[in-house]
Amino acid sequence: MPRMDRRFLTLVSIGAAWTAAACATTAQEGGTLRVKVIESATDKPSNVALHLSVGRKSGEPLVGLKPDNFRIFEDGKLVPEDKAKRMLLNPKAAEVHITMLLVDLSGPIVESPSFPELIKQVGEFLERLQPNHQLTASLFDGRDELRTVLEPDENDIDKALSRIRHYRPEDRKGNLNGAIVRALGMLDKQLAKSTASRKLSNLVVFTDRGDMAAKVPEEELEVALDKTPADVYVIGVGPGIKRPELGKVARTDAFYSTQLTDLATGFDHLGKHLAVGAEGQYLLSYCSPKRKGQHEVEIEVITEKEHGKFTHRFNADGFVKGCSPKNLPAFVAAKDDKGDDDQAEEKTAEKRTAEKPAKVAAKKPSEDEDSEKAAAPSEESTEEAGPVPAAATTAARGKAKKARNLESKADKEE
């Protein structure tokens, strides 16, 4: 009996528009498209840059737009391209979606006829998100460490799937809690390294049971879930799933079913949601012909059958010739500069560490080692899956995290 826990199924909210000094933006509902500004900036010599979200009023993002789909008006007059060079920069410079898929291969599904279907669904999930997400895929069993089959800088999904096919669990008491804590730590490090001005992270956990190792207490897991800025999703499919336990992990959304035939439904459900949240993003950059004073720019987005627009005010004082639309806007460049400084500090720290005596270095525990906790492994749950109430509390996730409604449910009877 599949169960969808719809805790955050609305499209990723764009939120209030961030504007640079002396700039203001107004989203307009004219036309069939919704065009919203996420961030904006004006820079010398005469650059105007806008990080946009474009979608239909139904909430569906509009993908595949080209520079020709954007018409620019300043103070009510159309500005031709020969007077205002423009281009679409890579939106990943402004916004990054970091997503990690964590797959439990300690349970009976590894020997079941459904294992090839699981591998297929993992592949389709990763392929769907690959264009707009920075992806990591890791496996776990009852051991402390994770087995990463797809690194953030890798693109070969077929190779990752081959690694899953050849994976053999060594400890069948799945360390779900420990794997989640470790995965959240990996996501936090990836977020810290990103130079994008807007960063979002997601952890998607697949399991056919729950935590069986009892190595990491629920209290420690709860602390990690409360601290992380990541959205956490669960796909629980299998006759042995521990739904009450998994409900505490799925802080954002979840899919549950006791039937392995519902694997495709679960991965498709969450894959669509995450894909939509990262689509329809554009980073428009153009060179304004204005040289001083306050001005209003209107950006109109047009396709063969649809259109939408918004207005934005900017100050052109100090604008001069010599602009290139290839220049990164201030809200991206500032992050890049900070990232360079952080990288320099990291390299310096690494150099100092390397210069320490070998005896001292040998005493330092590996970054990937967990402190082991003595605990008797829990027995696999044999209780029948039934309706589970939504989590009653919403955890604080940091400044970028908003409270989520955890009450809405949808059930499908067997």
Residues 383-399, mean pLDDT to the nearest whole number: 35
Residue 102 CB neighbour total at 10 angstroms: 24
Distance CA 407, CA 404 (A): 9
**pLDDT tens digits, 215-263:** 999 999 999 999 999 999 999 999 999 999 999 999 999 999 999 999 9
Is residue 54 scored above 60 in pLDDT?
yes
Pairing of strands 294-302, 307-315: antiparallel
> What integer pLDDT is reported at residue 31 of this predicted model?
80
Which tokens hold the place of 185? 């730590």
**pLDDT tens digits, 349-379:** 444 444 443 333 333 344 443 433 333 333 3
pTM, two decimal places: 0.71
Is residue 390 scored above 90 in pLDDT?
no
CATH number of 3-7+94-260+379-411: 3.40.50.410
- The answer, yes or no, to whether the previous bond of 45 is cis (omega within 30 of 0) is yes
Mean pLDDT for all residues in the chain: 80
Give the phi and the psi of residue 348 in degrees, each rounded to 5. Answer: -65, -45
Percent of the chain's residues with pLDDT above 70: 73
* Closest alpha carbon to 289 in 320, 324, 330: 320
Strand partners, 73: 78, 298
Point out the least confidently predicted range of 44-53, 96-105, 320-329, 373-382. 373-382
The secondary structure element, H or E, covering residue 27 is strand 24-31
Point out the least confidently predicted range of 196-205, 344-353, 375-384. 375-384
CB burial of residue 222 (10 Å; 0-12, 13-18, 19+) = middle
Per-residue pLDDT band for 2 (boundaries 50, 70, 90) equals low
Pairing of strands 294-302, 147-150: unpaired
> What integer pLDDT is reported at residue 345 of this predicted model?
45
Is residue 154 scored above 90 in pLDDT?
yes
Buried b (16+ CB within 10 A) or exposed e, 73-87: ebeeeebeeeebebe
Domain locations in the chain? Answer: 3-7+94-260+379-411
